[in-house]
Amino acid sequence: MSKAVDLSSLVKEKKLLIFVGLGLIITWVVMGPVLGKLKERIAVKNKLVNDNQVLTTKLEVLEGIDDVLVSQRVKKMEEVFPSKKPVVQLMGALNQLAAEHGLGFGGVTLRPGALTEEKQAPTAKSKKKKSKETPSLSADLLDLSFGFQVTGNFDDIEKFMNNLERLAPLMKIDQLSLAIKSSPFFEGESIAVIADIEVLAYYQAPPKTLGSINKSVELLNREDEAVMNRLFGFKSYETVMPTAPTGKLNLFSVDLQESL
Amino acid sequence: MEISLFQKKIGRLNKKQKLKFLLTKSVLFWVLFMSFCMIVIAGWSLLVNRQNAKLNQQLKTTKQRITQFQKIESQQVYLTSKLKSFKTLIKSQEIHQDVTETVFSLIPSGTELKGFKVETSGIIKLSGTVPDYVTLSELLTRIKNKKNHKLLIESAIINKIMVTKEGLVNFDIDLQIRV
């Protein structure tokens, strides 16, 4: 009984405190979700503002890019540094360059590897070479080895070698054998040079995706522009492709019947 | 003279009533304040929501416009990705070319050079055959003559010189070219 009396007196004494406490709880219960919602909406707004800014900048950058120039550059890049194995282009270019310098061209050794477009793993040899020579090269970069023999006089072969540096598709001399035949009549004068050259031509598949739409467009810097200018210095020869029709003709086709 | 018999009680009642009045007033004020706050927050929230809807619309339009430039974007991405490898390759190609030209300028007429590997490090293992000692001497003189080459020959070590039955001279020289 005395305990109940104590409790009621205690409640009476703390009445004001209880009221304030209750008030705060009610405030929290009523205002909490409303404030939470507002906070959430403000966060969404900030993200939207940020995204919008990024996209607007990206759009401005894209609008500023010269469509014609980029297309030209892509075309040239594809000629010089192709996306697919440049077997035909390489053979054609070397053959035509040799012919231009009046050199004999032959002894072709080609190691084209897989014919499918599957992603091939770089060989252990090329991996080792890449890590040793060029640490910043992309993993998609692949090479194609091509051996050939050119015969002619010393000066022409020298010019041919010099022009290899600026010949599309991009290649570098990997191995070289030389046989300089001297004249039996004039001492020290070379009459014919036989050069067995092995070159490595490079190709790299283009990126598969553009990435997120929010990803900014990377523009070319000064150094890139200089490299781009050098790219246009590469000489490319038109690849002659066979045009002879292959396979059976459809004798019942309308065009054929009309022509008959 | 007025005698109040319930002065204490009345005083306590007065105090209680004042407290009740104050409490009622406070509660009323608190309710009003809360309502005001609720209106302000709800209004603010509504405004933010409207802004979000507007931003969303703007974002959609911008995305649509960006999609129209997809061809240019993919071309630009193609260029930048390829340029990274191309820059490194072109430097390496230059070195290879210079090393080849340097070795080419060393070889006198009549020499037969076995395949040597062009290394970016500049280490070249030169081996082959010359018809006689005079040509070998010319080859060695050219190696020693540092100024006439595209790249500087830092060192040259003759590993082997051998004369064959036919009178030809086989040589094996290690060159270190500065690249």
ipTM higher than 0.90?
no
Q: Do B115 and A63 touch (CB under 8 A)?
A: no
pLDDT digits (tens, 9 = 90+) for B41-70: 999 999 999 999 999 999 999 999 999 999
pLDDT for the residue A150: 92
Q: Do B72 and A180 touch (CB under 8 A)?
A: no
**Residue A77 pLDDT grade (very low, low, confident, very high; cuts 50, 70, 90):** very high
Q: Do A154 and B74 touch (CB under 8 A)?
A: no
Which of A38, A67, A190 has its CB closest to that of B48?
Answer: A38
Q: Answer with the residue of higher pLDDT: B37 or A253.
A: B37
Which of A37, A63, A189 has its CB closest to that of B109?
Answer: A189
pLDDT for the residue A180: 81
pLDDT(B3) > 90: no
Residue of A nearest to B91 (CA): A134
pTM recorded for the entire structure: 0.73
Q: Do B76 and A58 touch (CB under 8 A)?
A: no
Average pLDDT over residues A72-79: 93
pLDDT for the residue A187: 56
Q: In whole angstroms, give the CA distance from residue A37 to residue A49.
A: 18
Q: Which of B41, B109, B135 to mutate to test the interface with A (most CBs of A within 10 A)?
A: B109
DSSP one-letter string for chain A: -HHHHHHHHHHHHTHHHHHHHHHHHHHHHHHHHHHHHHHHHHHHHHHHHHHHHHHHHHHHHHHHS-HHHHHHHHHHHHHHS-SS--HHHHHHHHHHHHHHTT-EEEEEEEE----S-SPPPPPHHHHHHHHHH-TT--TTEEEEEEEEEEEE-HHHHHHHHHHHTTBSSPEEEEEEEEEEEEPSSSTT-EEEEEEEEEEEEEEEPPPS----TTSPPPPP-HHHHHHHHHHTT-B-----------S---TT-HHHHHH-
pLDDT for the residue A120: 47
Which of B55, B78, B90 has its CB closest to that of A74?
Answer: B78
B92 occurs within a structural domain: yes
pLDDT(A126) > 90: no
pLDDT for the residue A138: 65
Q: Do A206 and B116 touch (CB under 8 A)?
A: no
pLDDT for the residue A68: 94
Backbone angles phi, psi at A200, to 5 degrees: -115, 120
Question: What is the least distance, in Å, from the CA of B16 to any CA of chain A?
Answer: 12
Residues of B in contact with A158 (CB under 8 A): 101, 104
CB-defined contacts A:B, below 8 A: 208
- Closest to A196 (Cα-Cα) out of A165, A159, A161, A237: A161
Distances in Å between the Cα of A122 and the Cα atoms of A90, A101, A138, A206, B28 are 20, 34, 11, 17, 80
For residue B145, what is the domain's CATH number? 3.30.1360.100
Maximum mean pLDDT: which of A20-24, A178-182, A236-240, B127-131: B127-131
Q: Report how many domains make up chain B.
A: 1
pLDDT for the residue A151: 92
pLDDT(A256) > 80: no
B125 occurs within a structural domain: yes
pLDDT digits (tens, 9 = 90+) for B110-163: 888 888 888 888 889 989 999 888 889 999 999 888 667 788 888 889 999 999
Write out the residue range of the structural domain in which residue B167 sits. Answer: 87-177
pLDDT(A131) > 50: no
**How high is the mean pLDDT of chain A?**
80
CATH class, range A84-115+122-205+225-231:
alpha beta
Q: Residue A21 burial (CB < 10 Å; 0-12/13-18/19+)? A: exposed
pLDDT digits (tens, 9 = 90+) for B77-90: 999 999 989 999 99
Question: What is the least distance, in Å, from the CA of A76 to any CA of chain B?
Answer: 10
Which of A174, A210, A213 has its CB closest to that of B117?
Answer: A174
pLDDT(A15) > 60: yes
A108 Cβ contact partners less than 8 Å away, ≥ 6 residues apart: A91, A146, A147, A148
Residues of B in contact with A172 (CB under 8 A): 89, 92-93, 96-97, 118
pLDDT(A248) > 70: no
Question: What is the least distance, in Å, from the CA of A260 to any CA of chain B?
Answer: 44
**Residue A257 pLDDT grade (very low, low, confident, very high; cuts 50, 70, 90):** low
Q: Do B83 and A224 touch (CB under 8 A)?
A: yes
Which of A172, A196, A223 has its CB closest to that of B115?
Answer: A196
B96 occurs within a structural domain: yes
pLDDT(B100) > 50: yes
Residue of B nearest to A60 (CA): B66
**How high is the mean pLDDT of chain B?**
88
Q: Which two tokens stand for residue B80?
A: 């930048």
Q: Are A108 and A199 in contact (CB under 8 A)?
A: no
Question: What is the least distance, in Å, from the CA of B6 to any CA of chain A?
Answer: 22
pLDDT for the residue A249: 57
